[in-house]
Amino acid sequence: MRVGLLLKRDKPEAIELAGELGAYLESRGHQPFVVGTQVVAPGLPVVPEAEAGGRLDVLVVLGGDGTLLRGSALVADHGVPILGVNLGHLGFLTAIAPFDAKAALDRVLAGELPTEERMRLRCALYDADGTERVARVAANDVVVSQGALARLIELDVRLVKDGEETLIARYRADGLIVATPTGSTAYNLAAGGPIVTPAVQAMVVTPICSHALTNRPVVAPATSRLRVRLAQPAEAVTVTIDGQWGTTLDAADVVEIAVSPRPLVLFRTSESYFDVLRRKLRWG
């Protein structure tokens, strides 16, 4: 089996663990790779990030949730399952402790560790003439905000379903988050949005510091699409995907968000979703 190791940047513990896991995999007849450009251990070949999805059977992430989101962008379109080993802080997605990594790998290689699918969002930016300029896929969230200046922006948000377009709201806020159920415990939660369990197929629309007490988060069906426009001209407004990639939103651009046909595949531990919430957030 071809197993990729994706390391958290500038994390010495990740380099050390990659060397251990690489040797462990080789001793059992499997082929380990380091994903990226950095040689971390003698004899471990490197797979460029752009080629990882087509050359790996499994991706092992050594880092935190941010590193796993980076890995998702590399391999999820190819259906490569991801095992997250937590070297970060909260670790909602990277649930395996470093000392359990070898045992978890054994179960992965034996086909004994179950997987689950997590919904992702395809975010596309369209020019004024309707031409798609760029598209990216988010596992956590799409955020529209004006990060450079502390100013309100005004956003027109519409829901499209069965060919009909309906205005949800015109938000005056610091920005807007559109989150997956997976991302509902990230920025969405900090902004006052609801927790949505992973099995629910829905998008969560949460304004950031809305300038209206009546604005509340909205949960939209996964069978719909969302269209976001600037309702008033504003400078330096950006669209950010999973905190990993961003681009500037022009005045006439339309941001369209829909469910991606290719989910993220994660290896699942024996802990339930609510076990993780209670342990990580001291919830309930």
Q: One of 10, 57, 65, 253 is an active-site residue; which one?
A: 65
- Alpha helices per DSSP H over the chain: 12-27, 52-55, 65-75, 101-109, 187-190, 273-281
Q: Which residue has the tokens 């339930």?
A: 272
What separation, in Å, do the N-terminal and C-terminal C-alpha atoms of the chain show?
Answer: 41
d(CA 74, CA 50): 7
Q: For residue 165, which amino acid is it?
A: E
**Helix, strand or coil, per DSSP, at residue 238:** strand
d(CA 128, CA 80): 36
Answer for the pair 224, 160: CB distance below 8 angstroms, yes or no: yes
**Helix, strand or coil, per DSSP, at residue 130:** coil
Beta strands in 40-181, from DSSP E residues, in sequence order = 46-47, 58-63, 82-86, 115-118, 121-126, 132-138, 141-145, 153-161, 164-173, 175-179
Give the β-pairing of 175-179 and 202-208.
antiparallel
Q: Is 65 a catalytic residue?
A: yes
SS3 content of the chain, % helix, strand, coil (to 5): 25, 35, 40
**How far lies 59's CA from each of 14, 27, 55, 98, 218, in Å?**
14, 18, 10, 15, 34
Catalytic residues: 65
